[in-house]
Amino acid sequence: MDKILEGLVSSSHPLPLKRVIVRRVVESAETPLSQAQCRAMFALSTRLVLQGPDPFQRQVGRQVLEAYGRYHRAEFEAFFNRGLVLGLLQRGYGELSNRDPAILDYIQAGLRLIMSCPSVLELFELLQVEALRLVCERPAPPLCARLCQLLGDFPQCLPRGRKLSLAFCQQLVRSIAHFQSQGSREAELRLYVSQVTQVSGLLRSVWKAEPDTLLPSLQELFAVISAADTSFEPSVALASLVQHIPLQMITVLIRSLTTDPNVKDASMTQALCRMIDWLSWPLAQHVETWVIALLKGLAAVQKFTILIDVTLLKIELVFNRLWFPLVRPGALAVLSHMLLSFQHSPEAFHLIVPHVVSLVHSFKRDGLPSSTAFLMQLTELIHCMMYHYSGFPELYEPILEAVKDMPKPTEEKIKLILSQSAWTSQSSSLPSCLSRLSGKSETGKTGLINLGNTCYMNSVIQALFMATDFRRHVLSLNLNGCNSLMRKLQHLFAFLAHTQREAYAPRIFFEASRPPWFTPRSQQDCSEYLRFLLDRLHEEERTLKVLSSAKTSESIMNEDSQTQEAVHKAQVFAEAPCMGSEERTLIQKMFGGKLKTTICCLNCKSMSQKEEAFTDLSLAFCPPTSLENIGPKCMERSEVKDDYVVQTNTSATSPAGGTPLNNLEVNGGCDTIMNEGTIKDFSTEPNSENTASSELNKVQDNRDMSQRLVGKNTLSVTDLLNYFLAPEILSGDNKYYCEKCASLQNAEKTMQIIEEPEYLILTLLRFSYDPKCHIRRKILDNVSLPLVLELPVRRATSPLAVVSGGWSVGVEISDIGENLAKKLKPSGADEVTCPQLVPYMLSSVVVHSGVSSESGHYYSYARNVTGSGPSGLCHQSTALSLVSPQDKLLTEESPCTVVENELDAEMPREWFLFNDSRVTFTSFQSVQKITSRFPKDTAYVLFYKKQNSTCGFNTNSANGLWVNGDPPLQKDLMDAITKDNKLYLQEQELSARTQALQAASASCSFRPNGFDDNDPPGSCGPTGGGGGGGFSTVGRLVF
C-alpha cells in the first residue's frame, strides 16, 4: 500500500484523480495491517509531511499519518518513540534542519495521537529538556512561536522544577530580545507581531501558574535592556512582555529599581532609553505607564542627570511616534510627561518645535474624532510649554497660527499643570527612608535667601517683583553689555521668575544696591533702602541718557559704527514701550508722581506754590489730641526757604467758601510719599490762636470730621492720608516770612497731588525719635488696609500750575480776590479744581515685626495686580462713585468696602506671603488681621497699583507670543538661568545620592535583635520602614 501511495503522489495524473485515490487509501486504514505494513505507512507519511516538495504531498502525509495512527495506535506508539523525537529535535530529518518549524508541527501531531498511551510520559520528560535547550539556542521568531504553541497545547512539556522553570523563563526573555522582523511589508509585519504575541503569551501563562518565576524574569529583562554592549541592540519585541506584568507591582518594583545602589547610571539610562523605544511596538499595553512610573521614580530620588540625558536623547523619537495611530496614545502620554517635567531649560521643547506644525496640519486633515481629540491634548501641551518658555517668537509664531482655532487653556490651569509636573514635585515614589529634597513651592514663586539680616532687602525686592508692570518693563530692557544696577535687578527678576530653586541667593544685587552707610549683617530700615534703590536706579538712567546724547552727537559727526553701537547700549533704558514721554526714566514712569504745595499768608492772603516730584509718600500718625480738633495742623519747625516760595500779589479779600480739605478726602484709603519737607511732627498740638477769623469755619468743619475719626477704634490708611493732605498752620516759632507783609506771619500750608503714579508707594511713619532714650520707638497702632483705594488728583491743567521738566518748580500766581477764591472752592464749580478720584488696588504690603527699627524682621504680602486689576477686573467710576467725598469717606459700608469683600471672595489663593526663603499662599483676611493676631507685626510700606491704566504691557499682543504676560528674556539671561537650573538639579541629585548611601549603610548594619524598637515610623528598618515582610524579597532585588 505504501508503494502504491508513493507512486501515486509523485505521478503526473490529474490532481482530482489523485485526491480520489488518496481518499480510498485513507479509508483503508481501518483494515487490519501487519506491523511491517503499518511501519512502512508511518515512514512514508512522515517523509511526505517533512520533505514533501509541494503542499499536496504534505497534506497527504498528514492525512495518512493521522488515519493510520488512530486505527493502529500501538504500532504508531512503537514508531513514534523517544529515539525518533530526539533525532528530529537534534539532527533534523534528512535535508530538513532541526530548527525548521515543520519538525515541531510533526511532533505536535504525533503527541496528539499517543496522548492516551503510557509512552507519552517519556516523551514529555524528553521535551522538557529539549524545550529549554532550544530556547537557549535563541530560535528565530517562527520556530520560537511554534515551540510556544506546542508548549501551550501541551503544558506537560514545560520544564519542571523551580530551577529549570526559572531558567526557561529567563532564556525565553533573552530569546525575545534577539527577535528581528525578516520583512517590511504589512503582511510580514503582522505575522511577526503574531509570532511575538504567541511567545509572550506563553510567558504570561508560566508567570500565572508559577508566580515565583515573575521577578527573576523581570530581573533578566532589565539586565538585557540595561546592557552597555553596543554590538547588540535588544528587540523592541520585549515590549510585548510589559502588558503581562501586574500593575499592582509597579510601585514596589520602581522603588526597588531606582534605589538599588548596584544599578549604575549608565545602565539605568540605557534601560530607560530602550523602554522608550518600546513605544513603537503596536498593541502593547501599559508601556507608557511603566515608562512614566520610572521617570517619576528617578525624579523622586533626584537622579536628574539620567532624566536630562534620556529626555534629550529620546524626545524627538517619542514625538515622531505621534504620526502612527496605533501607538499614538502611549506616545502622547510619555511626551507630555517628559516635556512638562523638563522645566529647567527650553532645550527639550525646542527639539520638537520644528515638527509641531506639520503634525497639527496632519491631524486637521484626518478629520477623525480621535485625531481631533489628540490635537486638543497636543495643543494644551504646546501652550503650557510656550507659557513656561516665552521669548522665542521666531519659533512659536507658526505654531500659534496653526493652533489658533483650538481651545487655549486658562493661565490658572497651565500653572497648575506645570507645578504638578516638575521633577521636584515628584514624591510619590520616594522610599520612606529618604527625606524629600524641596524644590519650588506649590505657589510657583521663588523665595530669597537671607544673607544675614537682609530681610529688609528681600521684602522690598519681592514687592517690586510682584509689581507686574514694573517687572515686565525691567525684563524687557535690552541691557546686554551693560553692568548697571538695573542690569543686576533684571538678572535678579529673571531668576525669581524662572529658576527651579526654592530660594535664590541675591548676593550680587545686595552688594551692588546696599547703601554705603548700611552696616553689613545688621538690621536696616526697608523704607530707607527702597528710597535709596529707586533713587539709584533713577540717577543711573539719567546719567546713561546724558552719555547717550553725547555719543549720539559724536556718532553723527564721525559716522563711526562702533560709536553707534555704544550709543545703542547706552539707550537701553529708553526702550521700554508704552511709557509716554521719552524724557522720563523708568522709575519716574512707574513710581513718580507730582505734589503741589501752596502756602497762603493768613494776613494778606498772598500765595506761593511749588511742584515737587515724589516716588513715595510718608504718612505720619495723627496725634491723639489733634484728632479731637483736627483743624489746620501746626508746624513749629518746618523750614520755608526763600527759593522754595514765590510770593504773589493778592488782595486782602479773604477767600470765599471753605478750604480744599473736604475735596481731598479719599474713599478707600491711600498712602503718601516720603519727602523731608512734608513729615508731620506728631508730638505737636495745633495752635490757632493767631489764626485769622476767616479760618474758624474751616476749623469747625475739621472738628466734625475728627469726631468721626475718634469714634473709630482703628485708624485706616485713609485717615493717615487725610491727615497728610490736611492744611497746616505755620505759627509760633514756625511762622512764615511773608515778603508782601515784610514780616513773619501765620500761614496755611496745603498740599495737593496733581499727577498720580502708576504705583503708589505709601510708608507709615511708625518710628518716632525718643529724645530721652535716644532711640526710635515704634508706633504699634493697628491700621486697616483698604483693598481698593481712590486717590484725589487735581490735574495740573490750569494756568495756576506751570509744569516744567524739572523735579521742582516754583509757580507765580497773579490771580487776586474772587478769582483766587473761585479756584479754591470745594463745591466743584470749576472742573479745573475738582479732584478726579483715581482708583488704586492694593498690590503689596511690607510688614515689620518688632518694636524698634534697629531690630525685628521684615516680610511681605503681595499679589499680581495689573492695570486692569486681578483677573482682568476693571473698576468703573460709576461702581465706586461717592455721594459726597466728605460724607461717604469714613462710612462703615462704603462702595469700596463692598468691592473689597467681593474681590477677596472671588479670588482665592491669589495672595502670597514672602518670608525670606519661604513662599506660601495666604489671603487678604490674613493681611488685614496680622496686627490683631501679632501685635508687634505691623504694616509698614504699602504698594498700590493704579487701575484702568493704559501704560502697562498688553499681554494679549497681536503676535500672542507673551503667553505668560512677561516679555521674552535676553539670550544671555536664559542661558544663565538654564545653566543654574542644571547646577541645581546636580546639587539635588548629589544630596539625594548621599542620603541614599547613608540610608543603605544604616540598613545594612548588624542588629542582633532584629531591628531597633526606637526607629521612627517610616525609618529604614529591615522591612523597609514598616512595610512588613511580604515584600522583603522585592526590597532586596538587584536589577
Contact 121, 130 (CB under 8 A): no
**What CA–CA distance (Å, rounded) separates 911 from 862?**
6
Q: How far is CA 648 from the centre of its chain?
A: 62
Q: How far is CA 754 from the centre of its chain?
A: 42
Contact 745, 640 (CB under 8 A): no
**What CA–CA distance (Å, rounded) separates 461 from 494?**
12
**Nine-digit cell at 87?**
533525532
Burial classification of residue 199, based on how many CB atoms lie within 10 Å of its CB (0-12 exposed, 13-18 middle, 19 or more buried): buried
**What CA–CA distance (Å, rounded) separates 286 from 296?**
15
Instruction: Give the SS3 label for residue 788.
Output: strand
Contact 551, 567 (CB under 8 A): yes
**What CA–CA distance (Å, rounded) separates 116 from 643?**
125
- Where helices occur in 278-346 by DSSP H, the ranges are 287-300, 304-320, 328-341
- The DSSP-derived string for 404-472 is TTS----HHHHHHHHHHHSGGG--TT--TTSPPPP-S-TT---EE--SSS-HHHHHHHHHHHT-HHHHH
Phi, psi of 330 (to 5 degrees): -65, -40
**What CA–CA distance (Å, rounded) separates 668 from 670?**
7
**What CA–CA distance (Å, rounded) separates 935 from 549?**
53
CA dist list (Å): 60 to 15, 47, 82, 695, 799: 12, 11, 25, 130, 119
**What CA–CA distance (Å, rounded) separates 834 from 792?**
9
**What CA–CA distance (Å, rounded) separates 992 from 994?**
5
Q: Which residues are catalytic?
A: 455, 857
**What CA–CA distance (Å, rounded) separates 335 from 329?**
10
Contact 271, 254 (CB under 8 A): no
Give the residue from 321, 375, 383, 325 showing the smallest Cα distance to 349.
383
CA dist list (Å): 513 to 487, 492, 510, 570: 12, 12, 5, 20
Which residues share a beta bridge with 503? 447
Instruction: Give the SS3 label for residue 744.
Output: strand
Start-to-end Cα distance in the chain: 62
User: How large is the angle between the packed helices 347-366 and 369-388, nearest 10 degrees?
Assistant: 150
Quote the DSSP letter at residue 246: -
The count of other CB atoms within 10 Å of the CB of residue 330 is 24
Quote the DSSP letter at residue 873: -
**What CA–CA distance (Å, rounded) separates 284 from 273?**
17
**What CA–CA distance (Å, rounded) separates 281 from 242?**
11
Quote the DSSP letter at residue 1005: S
Q: Which helix (H) or strand (E) holds 848?
A: strand 836-849
Contact 724, 579 (CB under 8 A): no
The count of other CB atoms within 10 Å of the CB of residue 324 is 12
Residue ranges of E strands in 602-684: 607-614, 617-619, 633-635
